[in-house]
Structure 1
Amino acid sequence: MVQLLLSFIVFVSGAVLMSLEIAGSRILAPYFGSSIFVWGSLISVVMTALSIGYYWGGWLSARQPSFGKLLILLLIPGIVIFFLPFLYPAANEWVASVDFGIRLNPLIACSILFLLPGIFLGTISPYAIRLAATTLSTVGSTAGTLYAVSTAGSIFGTLLTAFYLIPVMGVRNIIHSLGITLVCLSLIVVPLVRLGGVYLARAVTTITLIIGSLMMAWTPGVSARTKTLIEKESFYHRIRVEEDEEARYMYFDRTLQSAMNLKDPTALRLIYSRYTSLGFALRPDAKKMVLIGLGGGSIPKKLLQEFPSLQIDAVELDPEVIQIAKTHFNVRESKNLRLHAQDGRMFLTRTQNQYDIIMLDAYFTDAMPFHLATKEFFELAQRKLAPNGIIVANLISAVRGPSGKIARAFVKTQRQVFPQTYVFATRRPDNVSLETIQNVIVVATRDKQQIDIKQIVKQAMSIDKGLFPNPIQDIAVAYYDRPLADHDVPVLTDDYAPTDNLLHP
């Protein structure tokens, strides 16, 4: 019976730790993004905690092991984890405000939040092995069995959290539940504990009060904000919709993705979206378009208003985003607007259609889906374009300097497939430096000759309809007419695409 109980304990503790790691990515994302640096920090801190915990658990097990100590080893992380939702907003805010750098920020935050409970959970398996081993000859088999059970628990916790709990429960509820689970797990050990009930109660109460006081001290104040209409976790983002007197906004984590004027829902409110319309200045006769990255659907709504016969396939990875675009941003699916919950590259691979315009609006400030920026991807896109088809991409980057490496690598890669590229720095008309991160629109064509920017502006003026910047001459100001220095960036391929390092050099 004791062996079965200890197996159950190591299984659940393994599941809790990996569930905490998966949920931890969502705790960090609103403040530090979801780049490889965040995941590298999470994995490193958890592995560090396990290493320390294994050593400490083995050390403790050699010094009068008891079920009372096992109870405490389960109870303390349970209480700490339960109170984490009261701590992590303030801790993340502090790290982000001090700004230790793109790599150190998530590492420090992970250490503050997850190192301590991870160490305690790391002690469980070696300590349980010592309690379970009855003779020296059975230590090896006991250790192997319990570590296998712990690993199985880790697999279970990972899959349960990633596949089910995050979109169903939300991060705060998951974290609270993990804490409660460990506290309940410690109570299972109570019948085996040879410890005075009064002393045990005092120990539990003291630990709870101390940790509770610390957490309350970290609880952030609530500031006045715009009205939040919806906030939910999906498989890919923490989605939030806010509204003020003028507009409604969609956020992924902390990044603004889309905005809609309340009085004119089809107007292009965000300046970058007016530059994405440049595809129609180059191809005003476009009949079919695919948009990768829907967001709030501002672009397809406006395009269909001005070009009623245009056929648009809008591809969005996150089905929750599509649903919110329908319910909160007036996006209506029709025979001319087809919505697909799918990865953009997978959609292009499977579709039999050819398009006049492929528009890419799926890149973020902190991360870029590398598989949508490689030479192989652009070769695929070329095959799915009509003979005179073009690609329009919205990047978050500078044009020059270290912060512009991702844009320069993107353009360098495109030029392996598309002879002509046009680069527009959308904030340049506002005298924003080309070395400042901003929306950079890149248009790529297979034309043999470059079209003069004056001709592009003239064609945009002939269309207008609120599709382009105001004044429309800003197009010429935003245009970067010099060769991009690309000697310091690679051609991106499926085999080698260091997009995170290029985004954050």
Structure 2
Amino acid sequence: MKEFDDLYQLAKELSGSQEITVYEANQLFGEIGKYRFLQFSNHAIQGAIDLKEPNRVVMEYPRAIMHLMENNVPSFEDVFMIGHGIGTIAGHYSDKRFVIAEINEKVVELSRTYFSYSEDNVVIGDGRLILENQASGGFDYIILDAFTKEGTPYHLTTLEFFELTKAKLNASGSIIMNLFGKVKNDKLINSIYSTLKEIYPYTKAFSLPAEDLADTRNMIIVGSNKTLSFQSREMAGFLEIELEEGHRMADKRKG
């Protein structure tokens, strides 16, 4: 963890094969300060707060997602999220109605203990199954921010899953996905995007810059029932990109 100075471990939980740790550090992503963050066993940071300025949204991807939400449906009210992290986005919009699906109850416990998450809107369980039980056409946004040790769960990237999300969104709704991948020659990212395009008439992809095209970086992919707009200066460093065609992903058939 060379990007951190004076790293101090506050808590560690082992849930299945996933190791979940809370740290404090005096530096994060090159910024000096006092930070607390939640990290999974693949070293991916799932959320961070600035202890000197707790209301500041530290990480780029939630800032970019929040801009997309506010810019495209300024009056949005209802959001379904898969993946809780520390609750950055839902905590920021405490006046909105959120339903959050989180498969790991330890993540929720840590968010309450160390990151002051206080909303009573998290349901423990598989996000796809929980979404299936929601009313059709009820959401302005569905946000996918779910990661296991292996990456984004496969069953949250298929044609059938995207059909489900479209059924649960209203006429102007969008799905916003936080992913990790490469801009070029990334079969999985290309497949997710191509599958999404089969279901949604309007799609966009964004990426943080990296030194090399082969470097893995944070990406945001959006599918919408209406045209999408954004202000480049408000995207927290994310740039719009073009992705290559990939194969369409379908649910794995049992038996």
Normalising to structure 2: TM-score of the pair?
0.86
Q: Is the 8 A contact 2:18 2:148 kept in 1?
A: no
Provide the C-alpha distance between the structure 2 equivalents of 1:343 and 1:421, rounded to a whole number of angstroms: 25
Provide the C-alpha distance between the structure 2 equivalents of 1:371 and 1:303, rounded to a whole number of angstroms: 28
Alignment match, 1:411: 193
Could you tell me the percent identity over the aligned residues?
Answer: 26
The letter of the residue matching 1:414 is: L
Q: Is the 8 A contact 1:279 1:443 kept in 2?
A: no
Deviations 1:32-74 (A, max 9, x none): xxxxxxxxxxxxxxxxxxxxxxxxxxxxxxxxxxxxxxxxxxx
Provide the C-alpha distance between the structure 1 equivalents of 2:230 and 2:25, rounded to a whole number of angstroms: 36
The letter of the residue matching 2:230 is: I
Alignment match, 2:12: 231
Q: Is the 8 A contact 1:397 1:407 kept in 2?
A: yes
Flag the 1:362–1:439 CA change in 2: closer, same or farther, 3 A. same
Q: SS where residue 415 of structure 1 aligns?
A: helix
Q: SS where residue 408 of structure 1 aligns?
A: helix
For 1:380, which of 150, 157, 164 is the aligned residue? 164
Note the C-alpha offset of 1:283: 1.6
Deviations 1:4-29 (A, max 9, x none): xxxxxxxxxxxxxxxxxxxxxxxxxx
Deviations 1:70-99 (A, max 9, x none): xxxxxxxxxxxxxxxxxxxxxxxxxxxxxx
Structure that is richer in helix per residue: 1
- Asked if residue 248 in structure 1 is aligned to residue 36 in structure 2, the reply is yes
Alignment match, 1:265: 54
Deviations 1:295-341 (A, max 9, x none): 1112222233xxx2x1111111001111111111110124xxx1111
Note the C-alpha offset of 1:393: 0.2
Note the C-alpha offset of 1:485: 2.0
- Asked if residue 350 in structure 1 is aligned to residue 122 in structure 2, the reply is no
Deviations 1:223-277 (A, max 9, x none): x951111112123521111112411111111332111111222322111221222
Provide the C-alpha distance between the structure 2 equivalents of 1:236 and 1:322, rounded to a whole number of angstroms: 17
For 2:216, which of 408, 433, 437 is the aligned residue? 437
Provide the C-alpha distance between the structure 2 equivalents of 1:342 and 1:442, rounded to a whole number of angstroms: 24
Note the C-alpha offset of 1:395: 0.7
The letter of the residue matching 1:368 is: T
Provide the C-alpha distance between the structure 2 equivalents of 1:347 and 1:236, rounded to a whole number of angstroms: 23
The letter of the residue matching 2:192 is: F
Note the C-alpha offset of 1:398: 0.9
Q: Which structure is richer in relative contact order (CA contacts within 8 A, separation 6 or more)?
A: 2
Provide the C-alpha distance between the structure 2 equivalents of 1:485 and 1:252, rounded to a whole number of angstroms: 29
For 1:361, which of 135, 145, 159 is the aligned residue? 145
Provide the C-alpha distance between the structure 1 equivalents of 2:75 and 2:24, rounded to a whole number of angstroms: 36
Structure 2 gap ranges (5+) = 27-33
Flag the 1:436–1:262 CA change in 2: closer, same or farther, 3 A. same
Structure 1 gap ranges (5+) = 1-223, 462-467, 497-505
The letter of the residue matching 2:240 is: Y
Q: Is the 8 A contact 1:390 1:443 kept in 2?
A: yes
Flag the 1:229–1:437 CA change in 2: closer, same or farther, 3 A. same
Normalising to structure 1: TM-score of the pair?
0.45
- Asked if residue 390 in structure 1 is aligned to residue 196 in structure 2, the reply is no
- Asked if residue 299 in structure 1 is aligned to residue 96 in structure 2, the reply is no
Note the C-alpha offset of 1:445: 0.6
Note the C-alpha offset of 1:419: 1.4
Provide the C-alpha distance between the structure 2 equivalents of 1:230 and 1:330, rounded to a whole number of angstroms: 15
- Asked if residue 282 in structure 1 is aligned to residue 72 in structure 2, the reply is yes
Coordinate RMSD, CA, aligned: 2.1
Q: How many pairs were matched up? A: 239
Note the C-alpha offset of 1:364: 5.2
Provide the C-alpha distance between the structure 1 equivalents of 2:170 and 2:72, rounded to a whole number of angstroms: 14
